[in-house]
Amino acid sequence: MNDKEQLRELHDTYVWEVNAAVGEGRLDLVWQLADDYLDQALKLMTAGESAGCGRPDCAVCEGARPARPVRRRGWRRRTRSGPTT
């Protein structure tokens, strides 16, 4: 089954479910089904695509880099010693 056929089947299924929800007066379910349909359709359309553009210097495709440890410079923390008697 190709992408177009899968999208058509997904569409037909969700149209039937949305129509049934409208008939029952369940608008909350209609909105949920619409959101679910969008998510499923996007998954089908992007399943075979690569996640990035493939350029090695692309900052967007590179993603988040792990944070480097912060080196503290300057004033050192002094510990207070208790009063001596």
- Length of the chain (residues): 85
For the entire predicted model, the pTM comes to 0.55
Per-residue pLDDT, 8: 94
pLDDT of residue 47: 82
Give yes or no for a contact between 30 and 22, defined as CB atoms under 8 angstroms apart.
yes
Distances (CA, A) of 12 to 35, 69, 79: 15, 53, 71
- 45-49, long-range: CB within 8 Å, 24+ apart, which pairs? 45/3, 45/7
DSSP 14-51: HHHHHHHHHHTT-HHHHHHHHHHHHHHHHHHHHTTS-S
Q: What is residue 53's predicted lDDT score, i.e. its pLDDT? A: 73
pLDDT in tens, the chain (85 residues): 788 899 999 999 999 999 999 999 999 999 999 999 999 999 988 887 666 677 777 776 666 555 566 665 655 555 565 565 5
